[in-house]
A and B are shown apart, each in its own frame.
Chain A
Amino acid sequence: MSAAALVALVAVITVGSRAVSVALLPAPRGALAGVVDRLPAPLFAVLAIATLLGSDAAPGAGVWLAAGAALATVRRRSLLLTVAAGLAGAVVGAVVEAVASGAWSRLRRCPDCRLVFWDRTRNASKIWCGMYAGADGRACGSIAKVRRYRARRARTTL
């Protein structure tokens, strides 16, 4: 099956299940009305658990932090507050994960021009913002090396 056909099929299943459910389900009566009336909160609580634990990979510390922050606000019963707290938790969690994995130290500041940059080198050894002048900035690395070389030569040849 081609990818386009599969996408079309997934769309048909999704949209079709929505249309059929909303169009054909009758308004609940009797005992069923009570069940439907009590269903929403348990339904969403279960979906929260399913999205937390349902994937193959265990969620990282950041996700737990986000869920914890969201959970701390539920007594206020405000979706805005819960989403804001959860996303703030996720941002803090992402920083915590970056620090823990050592990735944080790749955020550097050029000793020459003070530009903050992200060290993408394989062995995390970038010092200056750049070596060559161009559209991206100045040649801080080359300038520093030339300066050091001239200082050394001035000492040795005098």
Chain B
Amino acid sequence: MLAAAIPVAAAIGVLGVVYGAVAEPVLGPGLTIASSVAAFSGAAQFAMVGLLASGGSAGAVLASVVPLALRHVPLAAILRPHLRWGRGRRVLLSLFLTDETVGLALTRGAQAERTVVLSGAAAYSAWVAGTVAGVAGASLGAIATLAESVFPVLFIGLAAVTARRPRDAVLAGVAASAAALLLTVAPGAGVLGGLAVAIGVAAVGGRR
């Protein structure tokens, strides 16, 4: 079980270093570390810092963070059938609800809660430690390409491990192609457009 959490935690640690280095000039050291401790969401934090650095308003930040937060609805939906805990413990579990922990949990249906907690704790530690290291001063140039690559690589891997049947792989391919087409034609569609494509493909994919 832990063996599967290690590459995820390592990738998130790399990303944390980049976040710390990028956010420190914008937010200052204290607030940068506080944001990683409190939010634990790479995508939302990068969006926030990117917009603040380019002079975006608070409204623009919220407009990009809310769609990313809505991503938690389909993530929770695909995790839900594997959860047996009651509502109170599920709320505690939700602190570790990330793309990566859900993806890992789906590959271990019988121990979903344990997987989310263990991989979540590892990823959270790596994220905060990476942020601290980045704030403390890491040279950015060399790892910029690495940082840009981490999310696509992680998601490709998660799509691969959650494709249990041949049909899942076909659906993933169809959804990826449709999303690529959508984002090429309408770049503004963003994450919400992508989520709509995925749900649509999953809904239609079951019909014969």
Contacts and interface: CB of A to CB of B under 8 A. Distances in A.
Contacts of B71: 47
Given A54-B183, A80-B3, A86 B156 contact: yes
Given A38-B168, A44-B162, A93 B149 contact: yes
The list of the 10 closest CB pairs from A to B, nearest first, reads A86-B153, A21-B76, A82-B157, A48-B155, A42-B175, A66-B149, A22-B94, A17-B69, A11-B38, A44-B159
29 contacts: A3-B52, A10-B61, A14-B69, A15-B40, A15-B95, A18-B97, A21-B76, A23-B94, A36-B202, A38-B167, A38-B206, A39-B74, A42-B168, A42-B197, A43-B75, A46-B197, A48-B159, A49-B176, A49-B183, A53-B180, A62-B149, A66-B145, A67-B149, A70-B153, A70-B157, A77-B163, A79-B8, A80-B7, A86-B156
B114 interface: no
B172 interface: yes
A90 B180 CA distance: 21
Interface string A109-133: 0000000000000000000000000
A44 B77 contact: no
A50 B157 contact: no
Interface in A59-87: 59-60, 62-63, 66-67, 70-71, 73-80, 82-84, 86-87
Interface residues of B, number: 100
Interface string B168-203: 110111111001100110010011001101110111
Contacts, number: 303
A41 B183 contact: no
Contact of B158 (A37, A79, A94): A79
A135 interface: no
B121 interface: no
A27 B97 CA distance: 16
A35 B87 contact: no
A21 B78 contact: no
B78 A40 contact: yes
B153 A14 contact: no
Most buried by B among A7, A16, A71, A83: A7
B138 interface: no
Contacts of B148: 59-60, 62-63, 90
Q: Chain A interface secondary structure, helix, strand, loop or mixed?
A: helix
B106 A25 contact: no
A19 interface: yes
B52 A90 contact: no
A54 B189 CA distance: 9
A79 B7 contact: yes
A7 B142 CA distance: 28
Contacts of B97: 18, 21-22
A91 interface: yes
Nearest to A13: B69
Given A1-B58, A70-B157, A49 B103 contact: no
Interface string B75-109: 11111110100010011011101010011101000
Most buried by B among A9, A16, A19, A60: A19
Interface string B21-48: 0000011100100110011110111001
Given A45-B159, A70-B153, A39 B198 contact: yes
Contacts of A71: 156
Nearest to A43: B198
